Amino acid sequence: MAAVLLLLGATATSAAAQDQVPASLSLDEALRLALRNNPRLMAARNDVAVADWNLNAAYGSWLPSASINSSVSWQGAGEQRFGSITADQLGFQDQPSFLFSSYSAGINYSVSGRTLMAPGQARRSRDATLAQVRSEEAVLRLNVTRAYLEAVRQAEGLSLAEQELERARFNFRLAQGRQEVGSGNAIDVQQAEVNVGRAEITLIQAETGVRTSRIRLLQQIGVTLAAEPALETTFAVTEPLWTADDLYAIAAGGNPGLQALRAREESSRYGVRIARSAYFPTVSLSAGLSGFTRQASSTAGQEAQAIAAGLARIQQCETLNGLVSLLPTPPPPQDCSTLGTPESALEAIRAGNDAFPFNFTRQPPSVGLTISIPVFQGLGRQRELESARALLNDTRYQVVEQELALRADIESRIAIVQTAYESALIEERNQALADEQLRLAQEQYRLGLSNFIALVEAETVKARADRERVLSIFTYHDAVADLEAVVGTPLRNP
């Protein structure tokens, strides 16, 4: 069938980064554009990126986790309370304000059956997501093919409407010619003029059908067809030679819906293993380092305590010297002046207070190993395991159901394609007979051997035969497209 022009008006759009439409748009090119630009398919493909990151995160669960924490705080001056006792009662008076800082660094590693199996489950979930995307692509191919076929069919309908209008005008001129020579009448002329008006209405309706079909094709492709590309793909009716067994063998490995179910079955099978892993022990290893600082706003209290302690030592020494001097042969007295608090000790107190914020006092490191063996958890694990098994069985039944439905669909759609093919052959023969009938009716009417009613009837039969012929061709290709969608692969070269 001859290629027809696809005339589209410029359509405003806010979409960005769309492909340019070529001057001639074939079905293959329309499918390529749709697979790259259809919004619904692009949204479905986003799920693949999420599934990839789920897989990465599952592998990441095999790695240890690490954390670093730091804090800074301030405590104002005043009397503190420790339970029912105050700092003043403990002898700590004139408490200054304090600045605190601390850090801690830790590493933790935990491994369990679920952790070890998480990448396998994520990989199967990703396979299921990819299968679902392929299913969406198959649906899109079918929708674009149908929209393309409908656009071509409407364009062919427009061509037929133009031909009908031209024939109606020819009959009108023929009736006028007979009236002028006196062999016709005004009724025939008026009837012919009415037929011209009806043909013009049919033409307007056909033009509307063309515009509507192009809008639907634009919607399915997902791009702005601002140019005027031609639909270059032709569709011929060829005898279907496929067998149900051959097509089922192809569909068993290519039907997107079946592949998606099988991917879900594999994911459910792994889900049973994940649920069973809840009975396995969990091993955890942890290690950590930490440190702190504390700096008072004033060291006067500490220095006073140190000086008081030195004076107490001196007083105790002098008291001991006095007691020792009472002995019959007392030893030399101890030099008590050396027991006082030296200035270096006070300097050490001041230097030790200068710690905030980074002069940390490190605390002892820690390392821990924990092994947890689940014994009884209220039958929750068994419930999850049984639920996973039930889901697996449900998915298996769905796969079997889909396989049965697939074989039934192939059998029925082959029969539909065969019927459409045979109908197209019959309509082709009917169209040829209608052509000859119209030619004879026009000749007889011109010679005055028949009336105008016979000519109108022949014209009606011709118009119906043309439309039925076009309808049979695209009914055949619609049936083939449905069969391709079931099998999951193209079956004919349009």
The gap from C-alpha 490 to its chain's centroid, in whole angstroms, comes to 26
Q: For residues 99 and 224, what is the distance between their CA atoms, to the nearest angstrom?
A: 66
pLDDT at residue 85 is higher than 80 = no
CB neighbours of residue 28 within 10 Å: 13
pLDDT in tens, 435-486: 998 889 888 887 877 788 888 888 888 888 998 998 999 999 999 999 988 8
CB neighbours of residue 77 within 10 Å: 13
Burial of 124 (C-beta count, 10 Å sphere; 0-12/13-18/19+):
buried
Burial of 24 (C-beta count, 10 Å sphere; 0-12/13-18/19+):
middle
| Residue found by looking up tokens 């055949």 in the block | 476
How many residues appear in the chain?
A: 494
Q: For residues 45 and 134, what is the distance between their CA atoms, to the nearest angstrom?
A: 9
Pick among 1.20.1600.10, 1.20.200.10, 1.20.1630.10, 1.10.1060.10: CATH of 25-63+112-281+376-487 = 1.20.1600.10
Q: Give the angle subtended at the CA of 215 by the CAs of 213 and 220, to the nearest 5°.
A: 95
| Residue found by looking up tokens 């697996």 in the block | 392
Tell me if 106 sits within 8 A of 367, measured CB to CB: no
Q: For residues 348 and 489, what is the distance between their CA atoms, to the nearest angstrom?
A: 86
Tell me if 8 sits within 8 A of 225, measured CB to CB: yes
Q: For residues 208 and 370, what is the distance between their CA atoms, to the nearest angstrom?
A: 76
pLDDT at residue 5 is higher than 50 = no
Q: For residues 283 and 398, what is the distance between their CA atoms, to the nearest angstrom?
A: 39
| 8-state DSSP, 100 | E
Tell me if 220 sits within 8 A of 140, measured CB to CB: yes
Q: b/e per residue, 400-425, with b = 16+ CB within 10 A?
A: eebbeebbebbeebbebbeebbebbe
pLDDT in tens, 27-83: 888 899 899 989 999 998 999 999 999 999 989 888 888 999 999 988 877 666 655
What is the pLDDT confidence band of residue 143, given thresholds at 50, 70 and 90?
Answer: very high
Tell me if 381 sits within 8 A of 275, measured CB to CB: yes
The domain locations on the chain are 25-63+112-281+376-487, 93-111+285-324+336-372
| Residue found by looking up tokens 């031909």 in the block | 163
Q: In what order do the strands lie in the sheet with 24-25?
A: 4-5, 230-231, 24-25
Tell me if 303 sits within 8 A of 161, measured CB to CB: no
Q: For residues 119 and 399, what is the distance between their CA atoms, to the nearest angstrom?
A: 24
Q: What is the mean pLDDT of the chain?
A: 83
Burial of 115 (C-beta count, 10 Å sphere; 0-12/13-18/19+):
middle
Q: For residues 176 and 181, what is the distance between their CA atoms, to the nearest angstrom?
A: 9
Secondary structure (3-state) at 5: strand
pLDDT in tens, 429-448: 999 999 998 889 888 887 87
pLDDT in tens, 361-414: 888 898 998 898 888 777 888 888 899 899 999 999 999 999 999 999 999 999
What is the pLDDT confidence band of residue 8, given thresholds at 50, 70 and 90?
Answer: very low
Q: For residues 254 and 488, what is the distance between their CA atoms, to the nearest angstrom?
A: 5
Summarize the confidence of residues 421-426 as an average pLDDT.
94
The count of C-alpha atoms lying within 13 angstroms of the C-alpha of 286, restricted to the half-sphere facing its C-beta, is: 10
DSSP 137-177: HHHHHHHHHHHHHHHHHHHHHHHHHHHHHHHHHHHHHHHHH
485 contact partners, CB below 8 Å, separation of at least 6: 138, 139, 141, 142
